[in-house]
Structure 1
Amino acid sequence: MKKIFVLLFLSLFALGFSQKKKKSKTKAIVEKETLIIYTEADAESTKEARVIAGFLKQNPGHAKTDYYKKKLIEIIMADNSPAAKPTITPMSKKEVEKMVNNNELNGSKTIVSNTPEASIPERTVNYAGVGSSSAGKKAEPSEKNKKTAAMLTHIFNHDPMDKEAYVNIKNRSKCNLIVKISGKKYYNLDVPASGQNFILVDKGEYVLTTMVCDAKYSSLKKINKDIEIELNLRD
């Protein structure tokens, strides 16, 4: 009887230990960091202006340069369509063509101007002119247009002393992410499940943190170049 009691006790102890070990086991996060390189396949399949602009910058003199410039103009004009923003007068197609053909947004005063503030230049984007329904009052460009214009300015900037870098987060998981980027400045980036999102940050050292579903992610990054970070859960 005593032997049976001991065996039963050991069995229950082993079962409880195995369950506790199973509960404490957390899913591992798979991280992949790469420099951003745009391929012709990316430029062909994308509907994002930043990808085509990046491809044109990385591949000067490509045989299909004119084709991709035309595609880039069409995407920018579609995003700047007055149908989506009826109170805004969009920039003209001639202005967009000049921007793309020059391969440099900084040369177009209509689109970008730098305003000094506390000795740090800040980009100010003017995607739209005066609204037709409100004379004398400038219409504000949408946040999407501001972000796209800032990104294109950065991509077409050939200055090696550029103080900004571009971080693209690819989320391969089935959960939405809020990535916190903490350093000399602080940024939050929402990344949808099975999607991606990008942000421009001042170059420097940052700690990136988020929850990938129920797994915690934290990583120290020295960001001095445009990078892409892919996050997923290990199967």
Structure 2
Amino acid sequence: MKKVLLLLCSMFFVAVSAQKKGKDYTDILKSKSIYEINAFLRDAHPDDPKRSVLKPRVMEMMKEYIKNAHPADQKVKDMQEMLAMLRRRPSTKITFDEMNAIIKQKQIAKYKAELAAKQSTTVYTPSTAQNTYVVNTAANAAVPNAEAEEFNMLMAVSPVEHKNRTVKILNSLFDNDPNTKDAIIMIQNKSDCNIIVRMEGVGNTKYRLAVPAQGESSIVIEKGQYLFTSLVCGAQYASQKTIERAIMVALGGQ
């Protein structure tokens, strides 16, 4: 009997602990946050009655945000995409495969346009010590201009080199063979600083990718183990990754 009681107590403790770890949507009907309501719609049970109230509300909030946003507001595009998704489905929740497919189609469109234009369509501000690192920090004073110069050098590719790189990326995007030795890496830079992402693999396998502030870039690398490093507005980033398929890495987000 004691064992049964102990088991029941343990199960109750686990259930309570799991509930505490989950998001608290107790006051969700009072929420004025687009992101909080959107998160609720992704997490809530399909039959939750609060959905019928909150989905139309958050859609109106998104429309209002888009209407009043500054023309340069980076969030507008995200809001438009979320709004379009909510018109078609119960929430903005998507599977990993769906997300990959969306990213893939965007990348194909981007690099097809670049191939047709015979030049990069990326708009960026050349690097200086000021827009590579956070200004007015102790670290900034000690940072040489080498990082900024390297970024500018990596971005200033010749038309022939750009074409070859673009063709390689497109070939990788269209290649659905899981046994291929290469994988495409897309880096999203959500910071206000130009960055260089360095990927160091086994032996002498090394790659560098310049990514403009609030921009994105892609590179095709050999599959394997890599140490990803970067300086994001002066802050060190380092992450060990096993590359077995195409991935997206976002840096500098809040």
Normalising TM by the smaller chain, what interval? 0.3 to 0.5
Structure with greater contact order relative to length (CA < 8 Å, sep ≥ 6): 1
TM-score by length of 2: 0.41
- Larger Rg computed on CA atoms: 1
> Comparing both structures, which one devotes a greater share of its residues to helix?
2
TM-score by length of 1: 0.44
